[in-house]
Structure 1
Amino acid sequence: MSDAPRDGALSPEATERWLDRLFRSEAPRLARYLRSAVNNQDEVHDLVQETFVKLVASPPPARPQTPQAYLLGVARHVLWRRRNRAPLWAKAVHVPIDEANDLAVAPEQEWMIDAADFMRRYETALAELPELTREVFRLSRQEDLTYSQISERLGITVRAVELQMLKAIRYLDHRVNSDD
């Protein structure tokens, strides 16, 4: 098969005829070689086809002078890739397609579940605060009052409001964001 097309020297029709002759003469030889490394006959045919696809996909200057040797090298590379990817395929989890729809959770649904869980932890932690601390926090965050306004309304100093807010924020942060 030394009449290999190179550098676009042959027309597309001539290249197609050359590939057809090459496939007919070399595919059985490649299949025998690949069968010695692979047990599954169907996979052997896939690997032979992949080898020829790589030959066709190579740019014209890379078309070999001796296509038989080149095909054998490509087949070795295809086998090498198959062996190195096999552990990844073995780890893949296969789910029957009729069960796949039941497993998926839409991102919005997951976000809403997380948000509801966060709010539940927040409400629980807020209820656990001492009454004065909870009221200072509520006036600041829910009614948007300044520390001065809170101190006047509750009859405590601005410094006491600051300390109660610090206490509330630290406690809420710990309870809402902890993993327990």
Structure 2
Amino acid sequence: MATIKNSSMCDEKTYELFFKTHSKVFRNYIYYKCGDIQQAEDIVQDTFIKLWKNCAKVALKKAKSYMFTLANNAFLNQVAHKKVVLEYQKTIMRQQTNESPEFILEEKEFLLKLNKAIADLPEKQRVVFLLSRIDKKKYREISELLGISIKAVEKRMSQALDTLRKKISNI
């Protein structure tokens, strides 16, 4: 590289020498990150194309760090894209398996009956039930909040669950 220090990245011989000197290093860098040699080679090829397109803007001294940045960003973009694709696939799978009109209607009816059953619980049972199941409080925390023993919390929770089972079992 010493012979081309004053050359421009837009010079074909300089670019070719830079490619031959550094392409394997960039490929290995991305390969170590992703574990897929084909993906690493694709990313490196794309980054060298970007380098060529922007050769006038990139100084030879900065080309190596520019390429590492481009390659890393391209890899991160692919990872982010894969996450989006996977989320979309999960959403589609959920919609295909659960979203029949009958299912939606039954689910809404069940939620209405469940909410009514919870609302119909005696206040002391309802408070314990909601603190436990909605606020995710432990029995010890509930007993401290309400100023009652843990055994009283357990009893109220047991009664609330029994009542809900009876009201919802016929749904």
TM-score range, shorter chain: 0.3 to 0.5
> For the pair shown, which has the larger CA radius of gyration, 1 or 2?
1
Task: From the two aligned structures, give the one with the greater helix fraction.
Answer: 2
